[in-house]
Amino acid sequence: MFRNDFKSVKYISKNPKGLFVTWIVNWLIKPFTMYGIACLFFFVLFRAFIPVELATEYLAGAVLLGAAPCTAMVFVWSSLTQGNPVYTVVQVATNDIIILFAFGPIVKFLLGVSTD
């Protein structure tokens, strides 16, 4: 990563599609899909095997995992596919900035956490 030409970051705006896809999938699709899949398995398909209290705890864990993208693996996959390392750094950096603001509200919404 340190052998990269970080001056080329200014050219990322010429191809923003990858950034938009990453942001949309990580923050508008994946957490809600994970919630839906977890509900399907824990409250419908395996309802006879898992008590409701335990299914609710499993759902909370699935939501936390679904709302937290694994940014460290992005570097590994980018390297394995001979991707653009500077673009990868920008993707991870912007995604981590979004985590600071979006993770809490999304998890709070999906888990129905309230201040009441």
31 compared with 72, residue with greater pLDDT: 31
pTM of the model: 0.77
Mean pLDDT of 81-89: 78
User: Measuring CA to CA, which residue among 107, 101, 113 is closest to residue 30?
Assistant: 107
Q: What value, to the nearest 5°, has the Cα angle with vertex 22 and ends 104 and 108?
A: 15
The pLDDT, as a whole number, for residue 116 is 47
**CA–CA distance, 50 with 54 (Å, rounded to integer):** 6
pLDDT at 114 over 90: no
Q: Convert the pLDDT of each residue in 49-82 to its tens digit.
A: 999 999 999 999 999 988 887 777 777 777 777 7
69 compared with 42, residue with greater pLDDT: 42
Q: How many C-beta neighbours within 10 Å does residue 84 have?
A: 17
